[in-house]
Amino acid sequence: MLPHTDLYQAILARRSVRRYETESLDEASLAQVQEIISHVKPLVGGNQFEVLMRDVGAGENLVKDLGGYGRIVSPPHYLVPHILGEAHLAEDLGYRVQQIAVRLTALGIGSCYIGALRREDEVRARFGLPDAARIAAFLIFGKPSRTLGGRTFNRMIRAVSGASTKISAERIFFAGTFEAPASPPADIAPLIEAARHAPSAVNAQPWRFLWRDRRLYLFVTRGNRRYGAGPQEQYCFHDGGIAMANITLALERPGKQVEWTMLGRTEAHIPSHPPDLHPMARLLVEQKS
Ligand SMILES: Cc1cc2nc3c(=O)[nH]c(=O)nc-3n(C[C@H](O)[C@H](O)[C@H](O)COP(=O)(O)O)c2cc1C
């Protein structure tokens, strides 16, 4: 079993926060956020990850301007994470930004992603990003509203976006083959629990896991109707990266590296899988001695 570290608790406790206290975070907290950003671990080493940090301007409506959905009340700050490189850019963005989101939760700072895949060109122009930069989502952050009204609002919006319902472990986990879903064995269960709690655009939860020969394979659902057709189909890769980050953070130990292998379509030894699943990554999970 994994120890109940603060970080693991933060993975499970994190929820999208959509109503914030109006005041900004203090300088020390903003410096902590910068510190967290500077220590994010890459999924693909060669990719170049950059993050702009901005205050939300008076009258600025980020959800509307950036192509997101729903309503975010009085957000004070946001991040503009973007990435340049050759391989697995959407996956790597999700992987890196989720590390920030979880560590913010551990500090008591709330956050909410705002998807930008339908507006990437406009967003690049607005923030002066290079043409080749990919940006999948913004991360709004600040102090969660403490008022009763604020808490109710955060709960209500979550219910509307379907977020209060996460798919059970027994429907996303398969052992040996994809023939029948299974309950994760005890040593893997905390990792699946971490992944299951991951945020995803429109709460689509594209992740499916196959456990075989002590390897955990991550697949994502293609053509997911919740994402819809068009550029937003690629949220499945971004959100798969988010789930991978939760697993990596759940395994975090001093001096320990968590090494995912990304799976290309041409890779040998990819277990057979239903046609609507796309193989994404594999992780060798060491047996506890
Ligand atoms: C890539 C991405 C884009 C999202 N875009 C929005 C958005 O535009 N508006 C919004 O209110 N929530 C957005 N969300 C938050 C999801 O609705 C939320 O993560 C999901 O419903 C699960 O709820 P939870 O984060 O509270 O666990 C987004 C999440 C992700 C990962």
- How much is the pLDDT for 5? 81
User: Distance from the CA of 110 to the center of ligand 1, in angstroms?
Assistant: 13
CATH class for domain 6-160?
alpha beta
Per-residue pLDDT at 265: 65
Long-range contacts (CB closer than 8 Å, 24 or more residues apart) made by 151-158: 153/18, 153/19, 153/73, 154/15, 154/16, 154/17, 154/18, 154/19, 157/16, 157/18, 157/70, 157/71, 158/15, 158/16, 158/18
Q: β-strands 173-175, 207-212: how paired?
A: parallel
State the distance from the centre of ligand 1 to the C-alpha of 17, rounded, in angstroms: 9
pLDDT for position 48:
98
| Distance in angstroms (rounded) separating the CA atoms of residues 244 and 215 | 14
Residue 260 corresponds to which tokens in the numbers above?
């995912």
CA of 215 to the centre of ligand 1 (A): 29
Ligand 1 centroid to residue 256 C-alpha, Å: 30
Please report which confidence band the pLDDT of residue 65 belongs to, taking 50, 70 and 90 as the band edges: confident
Please name the residue whose Cα sits nearest to atom 19 of ligand 1: 199
Is 73 a residue whose pLDDT tops 60?
yes
Query: Pocket of ligand 1, candidates 92, 120, 203, 238: which has the most ligand atoms within 8 Å of its Cβ, to mutate?
Result: 203
The ligand 1 site (C-beta within 6 Å) comprises 15-16, 18, 63, 68-70, 112-115, 137, 158, 161, 163, 199-201, 203, 235, 238-239, 242
Ligand 1 centroid to residue 158 C-alpha, Å:
9
- Quote the pLDDT of residue 159: 65
Q: By percentage, how much of the chain surpasses pLDDT 90? A: 80
Nearest alpha carbon, ligand 1 atom 29:
201
The mean pLDDT of the chain is: 92
3-state SS string for 88-153 = CHHHHHHHHHHHHHHHHHHCCCEEEEEECHHHHHHHHHHHCCCCCCECCEEEEEECECCCHHHHHH
pTM of the model: 0.95
Which protein residue has the closest C-alpha to ligand 1 atom 6? 114
The predicted model gives 139-148 an average pLDDT of: 91
Q: What is the mean pLDDT of residues 81-86?
A: 97
Q: Whose alpha carbon is nearest atom 11 of ligand 1?
A: 70
Condensed to tens digits (0 to 9), the pLDDT of residues 147-205 reads 877 777 777 666 665 555 899 999 999 999 999 899 999 999 999 999 999 999 999 99
Q: State the distance from the centre of ligand 1 to the C-alpha of 58, rounded, in angstroms.
A: 23
From the alpha carbon of 70, which atom of ligand 1 is closest?
11
Atom of ligand 1 nearest to the CA of 66: 8
Q: Which residue has the higher pLDDT, 65 or 230?
A: 230
Mutate which of 202, 233, 236 for ligand 1? The one with the most ligand atoms within 8 Å of its CB, which is 202
In angstroms, the CA 269 to CA 277 distance is 16
- What architecture is domain 169-284? 3-Layer(aba) Sandwich (3.40)
* Spans of all domains in the chain: 6-160, 169-284
Q: State residue 7 phi and psi, 5-degree precision.
A: -65, -40
**Cα torsion angle, 247, 208, 264, 285, sign:** positive
